[in-house]
């Protein structure tokens, strides 16, 4: 039987991939990588060793990519083969990172007289390679070396288990009713989705789940307070000992072991804690700098956040009959206050943001900014009927492509993300184009109506497309620093958060909105209300993000990890310092914090705020020159998007902006600057 993973075209043949293809293909491709390395080291050099090794590893990466992706978007039959392949791939990369012969080659290349005249991308790839060798334990000896490798393999396994527990806990809970009165307040879009969910289970009535669209609809709109409480408690206790499934999916022991092993990895490398290890590949210089940044922003934001919450509590008491806001009341009461203050509801905006119109408008926005076109190709097979494929072209020439999987469904990982199918690189046969996955979890079209997005969901689509542009518009052709590869983790959110700004510009909103039935543009009155409400409770949102970031960073500053009880205690301490909203006793946010336990954000969640400083400051130049100014768009393209990881992120930002970043634009865009003035004495 032929194995499509062994001879992959640029676009994976999703219509032919089967779970049984995975293990034999990954095993063979890893063997090929090892053989290529052995052969290349016979005559060490860039062209004789590193270039052919990059080729072999690219085949491995492009085979593992669809396997990892299918596990995220379909799970089920792909979970076991993915986990088996993950173990093999992790072992290979750990082994490679500890190969001293290869490390010596990198050293020799960096020390050679001609190194200074090499192309920038090659030099940076060697410099980052040397750093990564050190962080992979190449200098360790004996038991320490073996222990580091074993820990790396185990950490990959635990991260996958953490994500599986969150997914399974999310899927395991449902709430069913045949009495529509219990769902009073839910908008028609949510009711239609709940009706469709019930039908998939052969049930009458309506079925609520913990998937994002369903959960948010209940918390924001359901008048049934008991229902809000039940759904909220189920959501915030997922994968914990307090969850509705008891300890079946409990992540407590998984978190403990992850933190212990991370701390041990740092200790083996001679570092004080995992946070120090994490920052070795980031812009931030040291732990103190990150904590200073977060605490400074917290000090600026918390008084305003407290003021916002006090106003919400006062409104709830006077208008909603709630003397004391509970955690499951916050979003519901906030929506009521927003409607009173601005006469605006996200549900009123939905009809003007049909998914296809937003998508078409997004493509038009980036065409104006960066001179590219996005064209659909219906002939490319996907993994589900919802999946679309697009080519990115410039001057009629294909330069990249991406898959777009926009809608929520059962057994699909929650949230939104971008990932790589293939990386732009020079091959013996020519230039390999960069291909991306873009994944969201919006409400599906139901009852003959298209998917109608909230404005928050519109910004999510722009955010992920910003990541995609960073991957797809690179002009670097060395894989290690092409696209998002090699980019400092605390700068990787710059393009994504940057692109969100156009969701708030009237000229761009006219391109992404139009009533789903009439095509009527968003009325000026609604637009004015939306813009006026932009910073509604922005300080409360900021301190919530800072709570997550401080918790994450302080957790990874611990020298020996932490028990589940100690993790909870630390989170309680951070909340005491920062939080202004009440928290349910059952809340085990940390048990579902996939960003840091199953993703790449360990000791790095602060990156969202760090990069927001960069993105706000970058956008302020467009505010000065015009939001579609072609020269400014060209500068961002050439200085940021095209450079990938070939140069330091701070140098690239400074090249674009003409100076180092300032925090002023972030405070202004979030409304905190004005709130500071309102809350400061005198």
Whether the CB-CB separation of 632 and 622 falls below 8 Å is answered with: yes
Q: How far is CA 610 from CA 54, 73, 285, 537, in A?
A: 32, 29, 13, 20
User: Residue 48 half-sphere exposure, CB side, CA atoms within 13 Å?
Assistant: 11
Q: How far is CA 298 from the centre of its chain?
A: 23
How far apart (Å, rounded) are the C-alpha atoms in residues 371 and 302?
Answer: 41
From first CA to last CA, the distance across the chain in angstroms is: 79
How far apart (Å, rounded) are the C-alpha atoms in residues 256 and 270?
Answer: 21
Identify any residues that bridge with 290 across adjacent strands, giving them in sequence order.
Answer: none
**Tokens for 597?**
């336990």
Whether the CB-CB separation of 179 and 117 falls below 8 Å is answered with: no
Strands 397-407 and 435-442: parallel
Q: What 3 state SS string does 373-414 have?
A: EEEECCCCCCCCCCCEEEEEEECCEEEEEEEEEEECCCCCCC
Query: Residue 481's closest CA among 471, 466, 496?
Result: 471
Of 54, 211, 256, 464, the active-site residue reads 464
Whether the CB-CB separation of 183 and 191 falls below 8 Å is answered with: yes
Q: How far is CA 533 from CA 52, 93, 204, 301, 309, in A?
A: 55, 48, 39, 18, 16
How far apart (Å, rounded) are the C-alpha atoms in residues 258 and 118?
Answer: 40
Whether residue 39 lies in the annotated active site: no
Q: How far is CA 655 from the centre of its chain?
A: 26
Whether the CB-CB separation of 281 and 488 falls below 8 Å is answered with: yes
Known catalytic residues are 464
């Amino acid at each position: 039987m032929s194995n499509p993973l062994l001879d992959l075209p640029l676009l994976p043949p999703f219509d032919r991939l089967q779970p049984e293809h995975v293990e034999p293909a990954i095993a063979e491709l890893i063997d090929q990588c090892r053989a290529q390395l052995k052969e290349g080291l016979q005559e060490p050099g860039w062209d004789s060793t590193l270039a052919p090794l990059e080729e072999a590893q690219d085949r491995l990466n492009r085979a593992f990519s669809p396997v990892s992706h299918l596990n995220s978007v379909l799970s089920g039959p792909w979970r076991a083969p993915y986990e088996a392949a993950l173990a093999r791939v992790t072992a290979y990369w750990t082994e490679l990172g500890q190969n001293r012969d290869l490390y010596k080659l990198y050293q020799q290349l960096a020390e050679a007289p001609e190194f200074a005249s090499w192309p920038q991308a090659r030099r940076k790839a060697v410099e980052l390679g040397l750093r990564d060798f050190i962080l992979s334990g190449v200098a360790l000896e004996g038991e320490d070396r073996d222990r580091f490798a074993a820990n790396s393999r185990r950490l990959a396994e635990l991260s996958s288990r953490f994500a599986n527990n969150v997914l399974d806990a999310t899927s395991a809970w449902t709430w069913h009713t045949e009495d529509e009165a219990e769902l009073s307040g839910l908008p028609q879009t949510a009711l239609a989705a709940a009706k469709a969910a019930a039908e998939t289970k052969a049930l009458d009535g309506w079925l609520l789940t913990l998937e994002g669209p369903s959960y948010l609809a209940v918390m924001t709109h359901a008048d049934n307070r008991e229902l809000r409480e039940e759904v909220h408690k189920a959501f915030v206790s997922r994968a914990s000992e307090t969850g509705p499934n008891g300890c079946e999916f409990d992540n407590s022991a998984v978190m403990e072991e992850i933190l212990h092993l991370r701390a041990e990895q740092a200790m083996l490398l001679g570092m004080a804690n995992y946070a120090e290890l994490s920052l070795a590949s980031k812009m931030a210089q040291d732990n103190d700098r990150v904590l200073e940044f977060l605490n400074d922003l917290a000090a600026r934001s918390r008084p305003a956040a407290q003021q916002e919450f006090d106003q919400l509590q006062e409104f709830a008491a006077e208008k909603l009959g709630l003397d004391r806001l509970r955690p499951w009341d916050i979003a519901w009461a906030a929506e009521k206050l927003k409607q009173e203050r601005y006469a605006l509801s996200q549900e009123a905006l939905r009809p003007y943001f049909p998914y296809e119109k937003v998508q078409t408008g997004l493509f038009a926005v980036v065409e104006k900014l960066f001179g590219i076109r996005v064209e659909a190709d219906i002939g490319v097979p996907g993994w589900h009927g919802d999946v679309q494929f697009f080519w990115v072209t410039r001057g009629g020439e294909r330069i990249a492509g991406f898959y777009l999987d926009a809608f929520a469904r059962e057994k699909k990982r929650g949230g939104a993300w971008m990932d790589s199918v293939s990386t732009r690189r020079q091959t013996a046969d020519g230039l390999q184009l960069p291909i991306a996955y873009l994944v969201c979890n919006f409400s599906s079209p139901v009852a003959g109506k298209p998917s109608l997005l909230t404005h928050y969901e519109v910004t999510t689509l722009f955010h992920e497309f910003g990541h995609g542009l960073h991957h797809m518009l690179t002009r670097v052709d060395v894989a290690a620093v092409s696209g998002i590869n090699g980019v400092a983790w605390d700068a990787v959110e710059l393009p994504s958060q940057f692109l969100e700004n156009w969701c708030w510009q009237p000229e761009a909103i006219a391109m992404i909105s139009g009533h789903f039935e009439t095509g009527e543009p968003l009325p000026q009155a609604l637009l004015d209300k939306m813009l006026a409400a932009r910073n509604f409770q922005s300080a409360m949102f900021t301190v919530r993000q800072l709570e997550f970031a401080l918790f994450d960073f302080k957790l990874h500053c611990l020298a020996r990890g932490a028990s589940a009880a100690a993790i909870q205690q630390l989170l309680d301490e951070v909340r005491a310092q920062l939080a202004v909203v009440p928290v349910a006793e059952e809340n085990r946010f940390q048990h579902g914090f996939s960003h840091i336990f199953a993703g790449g954000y360990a000791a790095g969640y602060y990156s969202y705020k760090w990069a927001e400083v960069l993105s706000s400051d970058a956008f302020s130049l467009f505010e000065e020159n015009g939001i579609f100014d072609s020269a400014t768009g060209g500068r961002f393209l050439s200085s940021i998007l095209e450079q990938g990881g070939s140069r330091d992120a701070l140098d690239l930002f400074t090249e674009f902006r003409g100076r180092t970043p300032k925090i002023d634009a972030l405070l202004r865009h979030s409304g905190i600057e004005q709130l500071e003035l309102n809350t400061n004495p005198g």
